[in-house]
Structure 1
Amino acid sequence: MSNKIIIRLLITFLSLNLVFNHVAAQDLSLYQKQTFIKNNDTLNYRILFPENYDPEKKYPLVLFMHGAGERGNDNEKQLVHGSKLFLNDSIRKQYPAIVIFPQCPENSFWANVKFDFSDGKREFHFQSDGEPTRPLALVQGLVKDFTAKKKVDTKRIYVMGLSMGGMATFELLWRNPKTFAAAIPICGGANAETAKKYAKKTAIWIFHGAKDPVVPADFSRTMYKSLQDYGANVKYTEYPEVEHNSWDNAFVEPDLLSWLFSKSLK
């Protein structure tokens, strides 16, 4: 192959890459930048409205809780994982919904978890009571405020999240047991006793990687067992060879969103 052909191929590749990156950035810009302020505290969030949004119609609401790596104050990093799921043309047409991605500040945490770093190991101690963290309290306020002002189908409010956001997903369920029709916690965890507070209300699909070195899969296994014991409508998918990034597998599950949007509070 001549040098001229190689150069042409390289230029073509770079041009396509620039186009792809531009389209991706353009797509993410469909998530509008917003802020929610309560008691002088501010929560950044991004919101995606359905195509041809009709303010007189009621839409399902999806709340997506990001992981620890996406914390910050830029109102951008929280879109790294999961946001493109809802930008897919066929998904937007088949499941018109309002999608919200809040962002947790850099030095905060969504869930009320105590950490123990003794003996060089990180241990999680999930709380079953007490006040929510400030960012999670703001998220709860945002959902309540938004559903009061906008046309939301209150029987079809959903929550999903990964890692720190998976923990937040479980916590939002027990703190708001009559709010969410379905939930997708990915590589998260919670205090198993809290499952009884929402087991009969919310459909749950749990995901985890069996080889997760960051958040042990036992957390999800324990929650699955507890939810089963309390009679929940719960599914658990564990990926045998997957580590912490089990969301990559979960996001390509063919029935993920059809399962989610099929659920409604009774």
Structure 2
Amino acid sequence: MSRRHLLMTSPALVSACASLPSAPPVPPEGLAAGEQKAWQLEGERMWMWLPPEYAQRRERWPLLVFLHGSGERGSDLEAVKRNGPPMLAARGTTYPLVLVSPQLEAGAVWSPERLHQLLAALKTRLHVDPQRCLGTGLSLGGHGMWHWASTYPRDLAAIAPVCGYGDPARVAAMRDVPVRAYHGDADTVVPLAKQQACVDALRAAGGRASFTIYPGVGHDSWTPAYQDPDLLPWLLAQRQS
């Protein structure tokens, strides 16, 4: 058998080729590349941003799930665009990833089981890389990120919780999920100590966590956090092994 034939039948090569579609993906109905559009999937209402090149390249895209805070719950989807990545996308920021921003009903909290099911549905419908699913959220959404990652540590390649918190007794389960956290030291809504405890517990368990603390900043640490020029490159560099 020739060396060329051996190369062409290599399992790794065959697997790599099989992972690419025969043609660039077509955005699901109701969505358009380069725009943030309202969308519904499996009963979940959300904003969806697809990169301009979504329908032009065969490689799979990173996926970023953004979880809003308590003030954006309800039936007005526009409220989700008040802060964070969906606000920036609405203002013209172009992301080199698929951005998903779901909305909670009034009075609801982020459920790890619900987010786990949503992620599974997104992987099925969108041309995303299952090893580069990322998460960020602020306040109630930051809490949702810690809770999700500690309950389903294989769902996300990394998280960036802002003024959030979790259960320090449970974060050891997510020791393989890198964290980039943010908080204001003058936050009286979610005290700094609550997220610091999670960061400390994760580090003690062998996990990787950076923690940016803004002196004199109250609960609105999301404004400087989402302006951090290193945040997006850090997220894009994360991949599950």
Task: Provide, for residues 125-167 of structure 1, a one-character-per-residue CA deviation record: whole Å limited to 9, x for no partner.
Answer: xxxxxxxx4xx53332121111023221111110000000000
Could you say if the C-alpha distance between residues 182 and 145 of structure 1 is closer, same or farther in structure 2, counting changes exceeding 3 Å? Answer: same
Match of 1:174 among 150, 159, 184: 150
Please say if residues 61 and 98 of structure 1, whose CA atoms lie closer than 8 Å, have aligned partners that are also in contact: yes
What residue number does 1:35 align with? 40
- Distance (whole Å) between structure 1 residues aligned to residue 121 and residue 220 of structure 2: 32
* Secondary structure of 2:71 counterpart: helix
Match of 2:120 among 134, 144, 167: 144
1:71 is the counterpart of 2:94: no
- Distance (whole Å) between structure 1 residues aligned to residue 87 and residue 38 of structure 2: 16
Where do 1:127-206 residues align within 5 Å?
A: 133=111, 136-199=112-175, 201-206=176-181
- Distance (whole Å) between structure 2 residues aligned to residue 86 and residue 179 of structure 1: 24
Structure 1 residues not aligned, in runs of 5+: 1-28, 111-132
1:44 is the counterpart of 2:45: yes
Paired AA for residue 222 in structure 2: W
What residue number does 2:106 align with? 106
Structure 2 residues not aligned, in runs of 5+: 1-33
Please say if residues 142 and 164 of structure 2, whose CA atoms lie closer than 8 Å, have aligned partners that are also in contact: yes
Task: Provide, for residues 17-54 of structure 1, a one-character-per-residue CA deviation record: whole Å limited to 9, x for no partner.
Answer: xxxxxxxxxxxx932111223xxxx3211100011212
% identical equivalent positions: 28
Give the TM-score taking structure 2 as reference length: 0.80
Could you say if the C-alpha distance between residues 76 and 84 of structure 1 is closer, same or farther in structure 2, counting changes exceeding 3 Å? Answer: closer
Please say if residues 44 and 73 of structure 1, whose CA atoms lie closer than 8 Å, have aligned partners that are also in contact: no
Task: Provide, for residues 92-114 of structure 1, a one-character-per-residue CA deviation record: whole Å limited to 9, x for no partner.
Answer: 3xx5211000001012122xxxx
Please say if residues 43 and 139 of structure 1, whose CA atoms lie closer than 8 Å, have aligned partners that are also in contact: no
Give the TM-score taking structure 1 as reference length: 0.73
What residue number does 1:119 align with? none
| 1:86 to partner: Cα distance | 4.4
Please say if residues 68 and 163 of structure 1, whose CA atoms lie closer than 8 Å, have aligned partners that are also in contact: yes
| 1:223 to partner: Cα distance | 0.7
- Distance (whole Å) between structure 1 residues aligned to residue 60 and residue 199 of structure 2: 32
What residue number does 2:209 align with? 234
More helix by share: 1
Moved over 3 A (4+): 84-89
What residue number does 1:209 align with? 184
Paired AA for residue 124 in structure 2: A
* Secondary structure of 1:184 counterpart: strand
Task: Provide the aligned length of Structure 1 versus Structure 2.
Answer: 206
Task: Flag the structure with larger Rg.
Answer: 1
Paired AA for residue 154 in structure 1: P
